[in-house]
Amino acid sequence: MHEMWIKQAKFLIVDDQEYNISLLERILRRAGYSNVMSTTEPLQLEARYHEIQPDIILLDLHMPAMDGFTALKCLRELKREEEYLPILVLTADVTPDAKKRVLHEGANDFLTKPFDRTEVILRIHNLLRTRYYHLQIQDHNDHLERRVRERTKELEQAKLEILQLLGRTSEYRDDETGQHTQRVAQLAGKIAYALGFPQHEADLIQQASPLHDIGKIGISDGILLKPGKFTPEEFEQMKMHTKIGANILEGSLFPVLHLARTIALSHHEKWDGTGYPNGLSGEDIPLAGRIVAIADFFDALTHERPYKRAWTREEAVAEIQKQNGVHFDPRVVDAFISIMQSNNNQ
């Protein structure tokens, strides 16, 4: 297979002497090489390189307008750093200094003038064989990289699905549709972005938010589904879902689960310090918790539950504005209001 590829390899000869080009073309064609292209104008090197995309370049060292050393520098900039593109320098100058300089500039070998047919063919064949194997390795590496990207994407998708399913396990207890967690997540991501979070950080909050109430799986149905207000004792038990959720998510090394734990523990804290479980206030409350607090509150108000009717959008927004600086971080409220206004204008 590689012999067939070698015979079809694309040549570019750059030499200002037509005689040298004609001689090389005859030698190459008699050896079975058919894709031989050339130019006597070294200043056309870049254009011809892009046009031909050669597998090997035969380059004269001493030319007017652009000598071989300058051409080698140009080729070094044109080709990809990881690409193996063999370059043979054509020269009668075989001094040690010339050889060292040519090799330093990126040439792979020499063809000395006058040309010896056997030497020309052997050197070219060896270099093309090396290029063929290099291309095979590169193709294999590219294939492996694609597979790694695909597997990474699949694993990322699986991770997100697991997060969503875990979040849904708690919501099916008091939300038959199981959509509360997803609505909260989407709104939390939008609020984070409106606050100036980079997109990837806003996405991380959106991915972590569905687990904000996972601790509800540790709360009895008698309390979780109770219509009407809780007794003080029942409310104390209900508040435990924040700590239960944090305990469930404790110890993960994944950033999204670490953030989910923070949200689960802090999304019922209040700006004025009257929230739970730790009575944090102001900036001491993690920002992700402050963001999800509003998203959770808004969605809970605007959707019916066994113990309450659904509020209108306008009623819920008015209540959040009323709680600005009391329950909620004023800066997060401003971001939330900007989203609501933007939705109204659409």
Domain ranges for the chain, please list them.
Answer: 2-145, 174-345
Cβ atoms of residues 239 and 218 within 8 Å: no
Q: Report the alpha-carbon angle 89-22-104, nearest 5.
A: 5
The Cα 149–Cα 152 span in angstroms is 5
- Measure CA 240 to chain center: 38
Q: What is the pLDDT of residue 343?
A: 79
Q: Report the alpha-carbon angle 223-226-231, nearest 5.
A: 65
Q: What is the pLDDT of residue 251?
A: 87
Q: What is the pLDDT of residue 156?
A: 79
Say whether 174-345 and 2-145 share the same fold.
no
Q: What is the pLDDT of residue 338?
A: 95
Three-class SS of residue 62? Answer: coil
Residue range 2-145, CATH number: 3.40.50.2300
So what CATH class is 174-345? mainly alpha
Positions of the chain with pLDDT under 50 = 177
Q: What is the pLDDT of residue 202?
A: 96
Q: What is the pLDDT of residue 309?
A: 81
